[in-house]
């Protein structure tokens, strides 16, 4: 079954914040909890779509930094204006302390001449619940540039997957009792309406919902 969705925003709110609304229709949640029953972790910090890049200042301000920004914050497809997939923040390894430890999405990027080849390591819930931590390491800056291009799509998809899961969970918890069903042929898709949204119309396999305020209109067509 294929679901096509279109977003329209009539204010300055980035439209990438609207896209996860469709995750509420899936009703399938991946577990984000820590596997240990005795471990208690704090909640993550940072805004949705925000990525903390932990790397040396020299790398960030040089050619490697340009590749990092190109690969990790590539423009979203299908938008009516250029809009990066993620908002990047940078700190040095020495500055990665205190509140930075519990950031929602953390990407370590660096070099280590002792390793045999470049690689990407992914861990979950290292310092906070639902956190994802990615470590990309190469032997030198030349190999690091190549590794960024090779692993860039995987890093983006890994972060996207975690963000979808977080927002799906939040939307399902905040959704009201209303359910709408959109059908196409033999397929039926149950829609949970997020808090603040109401149905505008539904015709066969098309439905439109919107959230209205005196200043803004945010609409979603499924």
Confidence of residue 115 (pLDDT cuts 50, 70, 90): very high
Give pLDDT, residue 63.
95
pTM of the model: 0.73
Task: Provide φ and ψ at 169, rounded to 5°.
Answer: -60, -45
Assign a CATH topology to domain 50-172: Chitobiase; domain 2 (3.30.379)
How is the chain split into domains, by residue range? Answer: 6-28+175-221, 50-172
> Is the pLDDT at 64 greater than 90, yes or no?
yes
Mean pLDDT for the stretch of residues 21-31: 41
Q: Are 208 and 220 in contact (CB under 8 A)?
A: yes
Confidence of residue 175 (pLDDT cuts 50, 70, 90): confident
> Has residue 177 got a pLDDT over 70?
yes
Closest among 13, 24, 6 to 167, alpha carbons compared = 24
pLDDT at residue 39 in the model: 66
Name the pLDDT band for 25 (thresholds 50, 70, 90).
very low
For the cut 70, the answer to whether the pLDDT of residue 23 exceeds it is: no
Instruction: Enumerate long-range contacts of 89-98, CB under 8 Å, 24 or more apart.
Output: 89/50, 89/51, 89/52, 89/53, 90/52, 90/53, 90/54, 90/55, 90/60, 90/65, 91/52, 91/53, 91/54, 92/54, 92/55, 92/56, 92/57, 93/54, 93/55, 93/56, 96/54
| Range from 44-48, 77-81, 148-152 carrying the lowest mean pLDDT | 77-81
Average of pLDDT values for 191-196? 80
Q: Would you state the pLDDT for residue 33?
A: 45
Average pLDDT of the residues in 89-113:
96
pLDDT greater than 70 at residue 35? no
* Per-residue model confidence as pLDDT tens digits over 146-157: 999 999 999 999
40/112: higher pLDDT: 112
Q: What percent of the chain has pLDDT over 90?
A: 54
Q: Is the pLDDT of residue 125 over 80?
A: yes
């Amino acid at each position: 079954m294929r679901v096509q969705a279109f977003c329209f925003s009539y204010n300055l709110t980035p439209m990438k914040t609207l896209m996860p609304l469709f995750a509420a229709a899936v009703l399938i949640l991946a577990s984000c909890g820590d596997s240990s029953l005795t471990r208690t972790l704090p909640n993550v910090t940072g805004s949705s779509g925000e990525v903390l890049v932990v790397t040396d200042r020299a790398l960030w301000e040089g050619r490697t930094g340009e590749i990092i920004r190109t690969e990790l914050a590539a423009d979203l497809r299908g938008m009516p204006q250029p809009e990066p997939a993620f908002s990047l923040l940078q700190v040095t390894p020495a500055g990665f302390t205190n509140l930075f430890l519990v950031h929602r999405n953390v990407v370590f990027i660096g070099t280590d001449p002792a390793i045999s080849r470049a690689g990407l390591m992914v861990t979950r819930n290292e310092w906070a619940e639902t956190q994802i931590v990615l470590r990309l390491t190469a032997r030198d800056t030349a190999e690091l540039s190549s590794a960024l291009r090779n692993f860039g799509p995987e890093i983006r998809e890994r972060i996207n997957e975690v963000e979808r899961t977080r927002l799906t969970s939040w939307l399902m918890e905040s959704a009201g009792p209303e359910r709408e069903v959109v059908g196409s042929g033999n397929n039926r898709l149950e829609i949970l309406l997020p808090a603040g949204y109401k149905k505008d119309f539904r015709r066969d396999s098309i439905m439109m919902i919107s959230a209205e305020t005196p200043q803004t209109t945010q609409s979603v067509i499924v």
